[in-house]
Amino acid sequence: MEGGLGDRRPCGGLVYVIGASGAGKDTLIAWVRARLSATRPDLPVAFAHRYITRGADAVGENHVSLRPAEFQTRLDAGLFALAWDSHGLRYGVGVEIDLWRAAGLTVVVNGSRAHLPCASGRYPDIRPVMISVAPDILRRRLEARGRETAAEIAARLERTAALRVDHPGLARVDNSGSIEAGGARLLALIEAVADSSRRLSVGEA
């Protein structure tokens, strides 16, 4: 149908933030959101929330909690742009991000390392950003959270070391230091994608 999403070229960028549990993705994304609101409220950036099959009161990101059956219903209806399973939970990012991009917004997604190939297939212009920390710091952070046993933490660290992420556009943020240092690096990457997308959009108009 004329004027539908299929006729509108995406003109906003897509920043796909990934990293091991405990690397600080949620913390850095929250820092960037606050910083952008204070310093660049005019920048067309939107942060996608995730739909997750865990309780709404769970510690961590601000997400939309779904029961497993609710998640499956939305998945079957094609309401997720991206969806994956991890550690017994199901994660989804809604198709609303396609509307946001078509409207010129650069979208920031809290993604999955293992799902990057699928995400890249759907969005060839994706800009993946890997949040990483030194292994000893990651171990201490996981221990401080108190969510897992020592054996579970050791297994998670082994999986993190074994998982290789490969993408020609991959950018990296070392979050071993202060939140401000890691946040500033992530902020600069997001600003660069948003500014570039906006320039291209203006140039094509």
How many residues appear in the chain?
205
The span from the CA of 117 to the CA of 153, in Å, is: 26
Sorted by where each begins, the domain ranges of the chain are: 10-49+104-204
Per residue in 168-196, pLDDT (tens digit) is 999 999 999 999 999 999 999 999 999 99
Residue 34 pLDDT level (bands cut at 50, 70, 90)? very high
174: nearest Cα among 7, 20, 11, 13: 20
- Domain over 10-49+104-204 is classified CATH 3.40.630.30: no
Non-local (6+) Cβ contacts of 183 within 8 A are 28, 31, 32, 35
| Secondary structure (DSSP) of 78-98 | T-EEEEEEETTEEEEEETHHH
104: nearest Cα among 181, 201, 180, 27: 201
DSSP 8-state assignment for residue 19: E
Return the structure tokens found at 5.
């999403």
Per residue in 101-159, pLDDT (tens digit) is 999 999 999 999 999 999 999 999 999 999 999 888 888 888 887 777 888 888 878 87
106-123 exposure pattern, b = at least 16 Cβ within 10 A, e = fewer: bbbbbbbbebbeebbeeb
Give the angle subtended at the CA of 57 by the CAs of 51 and 61, to the nearest 5°: 50
Beta carbons of 182 and 130 less than 8 angstroms apart:
no
**pTM as predicted:** 0.86
The span from the CA of 162 to the CA of 145, in Å, is: 22
* pLDDT exceeds 50 at position 160: yes
